[in-house]
Structure 1
Amino acid sequence: MSRIAPLEPPYPAEIAAQFDRIMRGAPPLMLFRVMAGHARAWVKFRGGSLLDRGPLSLRDREIVINRTCALNWCEYEWGVHVTAFAEAAHLTADEIRATVRGDADTPCWSSAEQALLAAVDALHVGATLSAAEFERLGAHYDADQILEIILLCGFYRTVSCLANALDLPLEPGAARFPA
């Protein structure tokens, strides 16, 4: 159980409609149920959502999210994303494992993906990119994509803090970190 109690069904109509839009008919995640019980937090949380069709490919978006969650030891959110998006993002088992156990230079990644992962790692460690890291990223991604990468890293660090600090139980059926 979460350290802050989640909403339990039946949900208020407006919250139920929001859950349906987000989850497309699947039961809402524990994280969403906890956040939705606190109006201000729920509004702010939903306002930061970056799962729309942004400037990054689904694959790049999921690499950023999975790596950010792994660096923050957030098995909860990492598992949700691997389960929900890895297949559609064409992430192989080796690539999924490398988001947790590899580094930016792991050979399964393309040169663009290595630059992407190096940027995620740098943002995690120092909350910035050196000139060389920014230039390397810029060789593969335009300004809109770079801003999206930075936003994703920040948002999913926040999501990781929420899931970890709330001690959310892992979602049933969600992927687990590789051994």
Structure 2
Amino acid sequence: MARIALAEPPYEPSIAAELARIMPPGVPPLALFRTMARSPRVFAKMFAGGLLDKGPLSLRHREIVIDRTTARLGCEYEWGVHVAFFAERAGFSAEQVSSTAVGTADAACWAPDEQALLALVDDLVDQRAISEATWSRLAAHFDDAQLLEAISLVGYYHTISFLCVGLELPPESYAARFPATQS
């Protein structure tokens, strides 16, 4: 059970509109969104800062960064939701899905540009900095707007991970679960 009770319908009109916009038809609002709806201010700020719209990174690159960030921060809730909603659309193999959680940044299942994104996440999570070697790898594949987007995604999903873990949100019924070897 989550630490803060989930908001129940009817939601405030602005929250109801945002939930209708973000959720696929027939899928109930995520526990995370329903929890955040308990604070309309935080809810609005969270959605205002979201990065799930079309940005300079491809869907595949975006999801690599999000999945790796949430996995590295132990946030099975958000990792599982993203895997359930986006892994197939991003073209991830089962090996790649698992690798986002338990693989190394240089795992052979990833292309060099994808390995650079994984290294970015690992550097930021482990060192709170980006090594020169990682930056060089990134700069060989991504332009400035893409680099800023990738770093912002790590930061945004760091916050989302802290919310989910701190609130002890239970996994969504349809969400993927961490591979058995996840620590």
What's the counterpart of residue 110 of structure 1?
111
What's the counterpart of residue 3 of structure 2?
3
For 2:108 and 2:9, the matched residues in 1 are separated by 46
CA contact (8 A) 2:15 2:40 kept: no
For 1:111 and 1:14, the matched residues in 2 are separated by 42
Q: Identity of counterpart residues, as a percentage?
A: 55
Matched, 1:130 2:108: no
What's the counterpart of residue 18 of structure 1?
18
What's the counterpart of residue 158 of structure 1?
159
Unaligned stretches of 5+ in structure 2? none
1:165 Cα shift? 0.3
1:115 Cα shift? 1.0
Question: Could you list the per-position Cα deviations for residues 51-90 of structure 1 after superposition, in whole angstroms to 9, with x for gaps in the alignment?
Answer: 0000001000000000000000100000000000000000
SS in 2 for 1:89: coil
1:41 Cα shift? 1.0
SS in 2 for 1:175: coil
Structure 2 matches for 1:28-43, cutoff 5 A?
28-43=29-44
SS in 2 for 1:88: coil
What's the counterpart of residue 56 of structure 1?
57
SS in 2 for 1:54: coil
1:6 Cα shift? 1.2
Q: Which runs of structure 1 show a deviation greater than 4 angstroms over 4 or more consecutive aligned residues?
A: none
For 2:163 and 2:63, the matched residues in 1 are separated by 19
1:104 Cα shift? 0.4
Aligned-residue RMSD, C-alpha:
0.9
For 1:158 and 1:57, the matched residues in 2 are separated by 22
Matched letter for residue 89 of structure 2:
A
Question: Could you list the per-position Cα deviations for residues 140-167 of structure 1 after superposition, in whole angstroms to 9, with x for gaps in the alignment?
Answer: 0110000000000000010000000000
For 2:44 and 2:14, the matched residues in 1 are separated by 12
For 1:169 and 1:123, the matched residues in 2 are separated by 26
Unaligned stretches of 5+ in structure 1? none
1:12 Cα shift? 2.5
Matched letter for residue 106 of structure 2:
D
Question: Could you list the per-position Cα deviations for residues 104-137 of structure 1 after superposition, in whole angstroms to 9, with x for gaps in the alignment?
Answer: 0111011111111111100111222122221110
For 1:66 and 1:143, the matched residues in 2 are separated by 22
What's the counterpart of residue 69 of structure 1?
70
Question: Could you list the per-position Cα deviations for residues 4-30 of structure 1 after superposition, in whole angstroms to 9, with x for gaps in the alignment?
Answer: 111012223322111000113321000
Matched, 1:177 2:178: yes
Matched letter for residue 7 of structure 1:
A
Question: Could you list the per-position Cα deviations for residues 90-115 of structure 1 after superposition, in whole angstroms to 9, with x for gaps in the alignment?
Answer: 00000000011101011101111111
Q: TM-score, normalised by structure 1?
A: 0.97
